[in-house]
Amino acid sequence: MFDRDTHPAFEVRGLTVRSGTRTILHDVNFDIPAGQITGIIGPSGAGKSTLLRCLNRLIDLSPSLDVEGTVRFAGRDVREGVVDPDDLRRRVGIVFQQPVTFPGSIVTNVVFAARKLGLVTRRGESELAERCLRDAGLWDEVKDRLEAPALTLSVGQQQRLAIARTLAGDPEVVLMDEPTSSLDPRSTEAIEQTVASLQGKKTVVVVTHQLDQARRLSDWVACICPIDGRGELMEAGFCCDVFCEPLRDETRAYLGLTGRC
């Protein structure tokens, strides 16, 4: 499916998620290429965020959900007993729809997890903070007020701060759950630039409702649609293939709302 040089970062097989008797995701099978940007698109309620949370086992925080199937990352099923979920989440970072800031300054927020996890020495903190803020495209805007409270930043800046904080943990994969849905166009553009700059350096998986954004950013796209109330993978493939020549009627119907080739 991928180019010859590309190998999968994740292999999702038979993934089904249930909440009691309700099936949220049904029998999802697809691969996520390493080092590329994968967009996950689909209507609201299709289970895109649930799928994302299965990749780093954040779904474990919702004990009412039952998960079946396998998600292989780095050659292992993430739900195997030997896999430490906290270590997995450090390697597979996530950025949420709403930015979360922790108490303290901008720089404290950037190195928050790296400091707690012992990934950086006290002396190396400023260097790490600068590098991650540059990678997140925020450095120029905050370099003169690094000790200011993080909450003084705009929501768009807080979202980039969240990206910087995730990058500070040096994850191999960055998951993004609708990272620009609550942002203005300028902030959205800044975040998109940040995501684009990660191409080739990290595996990035972006859940988005914005089809134009998915088309602009993604190398690879997976489309999930609700069928009889449960989310099913319609198709996954190269971005241009899914957008221009969708195989399934459901994908065509979904893209037909706004998607043009």
Binding positions for other proteins, rule: CB under 8 A: 56, 58, 61, 63, 86-91, 93-94, 96, 98, 100-104, 112-113, 116-117, 149-151, 162, 165-166, 169
Indicate the DSSP class of residue 202: B
Task: Find the shortest distance in angstroms from Cβ 74 to other proteins.
Answer: 15
Task: Find the shortest distance in angstroms from Cβ 5 to other proteins.
Answer: 29
**CB-nearer residue toward other proteins: 29 or 62:** 62
**CB-nearer residue toward other proteins: 63 or 185:** 63
Contact 189, 205 (CB under 8 A): no
E strands in the chain: 8-19, 22-33, 37-41, 65-73, 76-77, 92-95, 173-177, 203-207, 220-227, 230-238
Beta-carbon contacts of residue 239 (< 8 Å; ≥ 6 apart): 39, 214, 215, 218, 219, 220, 221
**CB-nearer residue toward other proteins: 80 or 140:** 80
**CB-nearer residue toward other proteins: 52 or 224:** 52
- Residue 1 corresponds to which tokens in the numbers above? 């499916």
- Residue 27 corresponds to which tokens in the numbers above? 């029998």
- Residue 77 corresponds to which tokens in the numbers above? 């099923």
**CB-nearer residue toward other proteins: 162 or 211:** 162
- Residue 96 corresponds to which tokens in the numbers above? 């949420």
Task: Find the shortest distance in angstroms from Cβ 149 to other proteins.
Answer: 5
Task: Find the shortest distance in angstroms from Cβ 27 to other proteins.
Answer: 26
What is the Cα–Cα distance from 92 to 174, expressed in whole angstroms? 6
User: Residue 155's closest CA among 181, 175, 128, 131?
Assistant: 181
Task: Find the shortest distance in angstroms from Cβ 201 to other proteins.
Answer: 19
SS3 166: helix
**CB-nearer residue toward other proteins: 204 or 233:** 204
Task: Find the shortest distance in angstroms from Cβ 96 to other proteins.
Answer: 6
